[in-house]
Each structure stands twice: as structure tokens, then as C-alpha cells.
Amino acid sequence: MFKFRLKKSHGAAGPRLGEMRTARGVVQTPVFMPVGTYGTVKTLTPEELQALGAGIILANVYHLYLRPGVEVIAGLGGLHRFMNWDRPILTDSGGYQIFSLAPFRTITEEGVTFRSHLDGSTHFLDPETVVALQEALGVDILICLDECPGFPAPEDEVRRAADMTLKWAKRSLAARTRPDAALFAVVQGGMSPAWRREQAQALRELNFDGYALGGMSVGEDKETTWAMVEVTTPELPVDKPRYLMGLGTPEDLVEGVARGVDMFDCVLPTRNARNGMAFTTKGRVVIKNAAFARDPGPLDEACGCYTCRHYSRAYLRHLYVSREILAYRLLTLHNLYYYLELMAGMRHALAQDQFPAFRQKFYQNRLEGGKARG
């Protein structure tokens, strides 16, 4: 059975320390979830993820529904067995992916009709089906189907999407059959503080297991993003986890935690690794740059990951410009280690009531790194 326990809190919209109990283990929060969209975190094995300290990962029901098919995975024992991962899994409902297919989908109150990005075939998903698919996968945390408006968007479109998301949340709750798995609602409302508050309050009354903040990072500036987070989190239950969907620069994680967010996911640490960018305590390192061709140092002097303990920037640059697969693996190992250690550092600071000092040091390190790079 899913349970969330708040261990420390600093106000309705301040940083929080907690833990989520699932059938497959306890997850300490705040937490970053590596993204395994297709049932794999790109370039890494599940054993490597566990060694890095990942306590929970994210997969995407939209993509798994299209390939290889949920019935295939269910027939092989569920997603955990299919991908050899015995820790908790959260599945995104696919609302954002459907949003990104705007020219190829039609939304009605019944659900969404869309064309597959793989082969153009037509599919229909409704809130009940999305819950059933996630339950069939056997995952630990399910997300309700939602409608994500773009930015900017006409007021009537944002209002309609918020109303639709609320109606679908009610239907999702009614369709649920697995009490052992958690069901999270998604708060929409565009960039309107009033609508964000209104929908958060309405969803709170339905008593979901957790609440996701959706519709962020769709074109708005960061100041607007954080303003929406700040007006939403105080309206959500104090004793339920809060999940900020899709935002995930290191700065986003620190600022999200500062505003009372418990859960994060993002493709940046893995995607940027494949594009030759490493995240470090001093800021970002673009390894393909010629300045690193003879650099004997590690990516990050302060990092204890396998990559930094064994390989130089010069070697990593050589691998990357040579398009060797090992470059993507080593950079991914480093980036995820950095992200997971960043979250562990914030949890430790929260336990010691030292989060403001941690936040200040985080930015000080980046400032010093920027000065060092000139």
C-alpha cells in the first residue's frame, strides 16, 4: 500500500523532507527520477542505476502502449520483470506526448484520438483506458490522463483544458482497481494563478494519493514557471507528495525543492550526455570543446562517480568526437550520479535544517565556475 510521510516541513510552500512507501520499497524525498521512457534509461543497465542510488524511475505508458504493446509486457510478467527493475516505477500517462502531437490528434470529452508517430496508425485513449494500461504494466505510481495547453494559449482554451483535466481525473479515480498502486492527479490551469489555485483546490477534494504539477516548461519564462508553482503548492494537501513534471536542470531541482516540490523527472541528464554535455558542481562542461583535448583532469574534481574516478576530460573528448558509444555511457553515468547526489545533498541539508546554506553554496559554486571559465 502506498503511503507518504512528511518528516520535516518549512511552511505550506517551503522545502520538505519526506518518504514514500510503496510495495517495492521506500523512496526518500525530495527525489529525482531518471527517465526510462521505453522501459530503459538510455545506455545504462538497471544494475548500474541501482549502484548510482536511483530509488525510482519513470516510464511512459504512451510509448509502451505503441511499442511493444502493454499486452506484451503484461504477458511477460509486467514492466518490472520485463526490464529487470525491482524498485518502484512511476508511469507518465502520455498527456504531454499527446500535446506534442497537436497536428495529429483530436480531443473530445470522451478522450483523445491520435495518429501514432511510429506508423501513422489511429488510436483512441480515454481516462479509463490509461488507468487500465498502467495497472496492467504493474507499476507503483499511476498518472491520470490530462490535457496540456500550450503557451501562449487563448484563455478559453486554457480554461477548457483545465476543466477537461478535472473531469478526466474524476473518471480516472472511478476506474482505478488496484489499491496497492498510487494514483496522482495532474494540476493544469495554464499560466493563470486563479485557475491553478481553483483546479488544485478541486483536485484536493478528491483525495488522490499525490499531485503532479503539469503544463510547465511549455514556452513560458522561468519567472512565470516558479510563480505558478508558488501559487499551486499551498493549495495542495501537506501530507501528499507533489511532483513537478518534466523540469530538471540542476537549478530547477534546487528551486523546486525550495518551493515545496517532492518529486522531479527530466531527460536532461541522459539527453545532454548523448549531446556531449556534463553537469558539474561548477556548471556545465561541453566535452567536445577543443579546450579539453589535452586536459588530464576529471569532469568534476568534487565528483566520486565511476567516470570521474577513472577517466580524463581528454579521453572523454576523444571518445565523443570519435562517436564511440562508451562516451555516451560514461557521460550518462556521470550526469545521473551528479543529479542523484545533488538530491541526496538537499535531503541531508533539510534533515540538518541547513537548506538555505546549501542553496547559497550551490549558486556560489556555479559563480566561481563561471569566473574560472572566463
The CA-atom distances, in angstroms, between 201 and each of 87, 137, 290 are: 32, 30, 53
Of 168, 176, 122, which is closest to residue 145 (Cα–Cα)? 168
Of 62, 64, 56, which is closest to residue 35 (Cα–Cα)? 56
Rounded Cα distance, 121 and 319, in Å: 39
Instruction: Tell me whether strands 122-125 and 112-115 are parallel, antiparallel or unpaired.
Output: antiparallel
Cell of 58: 519513470
Cell of 272: 545532454
Q: What predicted TM-score, i.e. pTM, was given to this entire model? A: 0.97
Cell of 299: 569532469
Summarize pLDDT for 244-275 with one digit per residue, the tens: 999 999 999 999 999 999 999 999 999 999 99
Q: What is the DSSP letter of 35?
A: B
Summarize pLDDT for 288-342 with one digit per residue, the tens: 999 999 999 999 999 999 999 999 999 999 999 999 999 999 999 999 999 999 9
91: amino acid identity, one letter? T
Residues assigned a catalytic role: 92, 265
The CA-atom distances, in angstroms, between 90 and each of 98, 121, 192, 245 are: 18, 27, 28, 12
CATH of 3-266, one of 2.40.50.140, 3.30.70.1150, 3.20.20.105, 3.50.50.60: 3.20.20.105
What is the mean predicted confidence (pLDDT) over 181-198? 97
Question: Mean pLDDT, the chain, as a whole number?
Answer: 96
What pLDDT is recorded for position 374? 45
Domain ranges of the chain: 3-266, 273-372
Highest mean pLDDT among 87-101, 115-129, 290-304: 290-304
**263 membership: H or E segment, kind and range:** strand 263-265
